Amino acid sequence: MENIAVVLDQYRSITNTSNRTNTLSRPRKRNRADLLRDLGLYDPLQTFGNFELVAGAGDTYQAIRNIADGGTEATMFLCYGGTGSGKTHLLKAVALRLYGRGIFVRYLTWAMVINTLKNGLNDGAIPPYRDILRNYCYARALLIDDVGMGSTGTAFEYLQLEEIIDVRYSRRLLTLMATNKHLDELPDRVVSRLRDPDVSIVVLNSAKDYRIRQGNEN
C-alpha cells in the first residue's frame, strides 16, 4: 500500500541528485507532520492504494490516476458526483502522488479559497486580495474540493471562480476540482472551458455513498 514514507523517498530521489554540492539549494527535509500539514492532509491518509474500485467510481479513478502519473496532456480535471462517492479521497490521493513526482499542490476547499480571498479585502490585509487571487490564478498546480459548496454562492464568489479558471485554462495550468453540484449549476464560462476536450477531463463519479455502505447503515 502506498504510504507517506514511500512518497517521501520518491520525492528525495527526484530532488537529491549526487552532483548537487550547494547545500543551500537542497530542499528542506520536512518531517511527516510538517509535510502533511503543508499538503493540507491528515491521517488516516486517503491514497490510491486504499481506494476500493467500487461500481461507479472506476472512470474517476482512472482519469485522476492518469493525471497523477502524467499520462495525459489534459490540465483541467473536474469530478462531480454525490455525497460519499470518493471525490475527496481521490483528490487527496492525487495531491500525495503529485508530491511524489515533485509537484506541490495543497488540498484546498472552495470555502477556504473564498474565505482567504474575502480576508484579503480587509483594509491593510497582507497579502491583499489581488495578490491572493493572482496566486490562485498562476500557481503551477491548484486543487479545489467542493467547488460551489460551503459558500453563499454570490456573484462575487462565482466571479472569482471564473477568473481563476479563465487564467488557468488559457495558460494550461494543472487544475484539479471536485463538486457535488451538477455542471449546469456552475457558471457557463467555467463549464465552457471544462468542456474543451483538448484541455479538460470531466467525469461523473456515480458511486454510492461509501460512508453508508453495506454493514454500516446504522
Ligand X SMILES: Nc1ncnc2c1ncn2[C@@H]1O[C@H](COP(=O)(O)OP(=O)(O)OP(=O)(O)O)[C@@H](O)[C@H]1O
**Which residues are near Mg ion by CB under 5 A?**
88
- 3, 83, 119, 122: which one contacts ligand X (CB under 6 A)? 83
Is residue 80 close enough to count as binding ligand X by CB under 6 A? no
β-bridge mates for residue 76, sequence order: 175, 200
Tell me the one-letter amino acid at 17: T
Of positions 11, 48, 51, 136, contacts ligand X by CB under 6 A: 51
Q: Is the CB of 116 or the CB of 206 nearer to ligand X?
A: 206
Amino acid type, 80: Y
Task: Please state, in angstroms and rounded to a whole number, the distance separating the CA atoms of residues 50 and 38.
Answer: 22
Out of 104, 129, 158, 210, the residue judged to bind ligand X by CB under 6 A? 210
Binds ligand X by CB under 6 A, chosen from 9, 34, 38, 52: 52
Q: Using CB distances below 5 to 8 A depending on partner kind, what does residue 211 bind out of ligand X, Mg ion, none?
A: ligand X
Amino acid at 136: Y
DSSP code at position 94: H
Assess contact for 63 and 75: CB atoms under 8 A: no
Which residues inside 151-190 make contact with ligand X, applying CB under 6 A?
Answer: 180
What's the min distance (Å) between Cβ of 210 and ligand X? 3
CA distance 141 to 154: 25
How far, in Å, CA of 148 to CA of 178, rounded?
10
Task: Report the alpha-carbon distance of residue 20 to residue 13 in Å, rounded.
Answer: 12
Measured from the CB atom, is 140 or 211 closer to ligand X? 211
Size of the site for ligand X (CB under 6 A): 15
Q: What's phi and psi for 73, nearest 5 deg? A: -80, -20
Our finding on whether 48 is near ligand X (CB under 6 A) is no
Q: Could you list the residues that contact ligand X (CB under 6 A)? A: 46, 51-52, 54, 57, 83-89, 180, 210-211
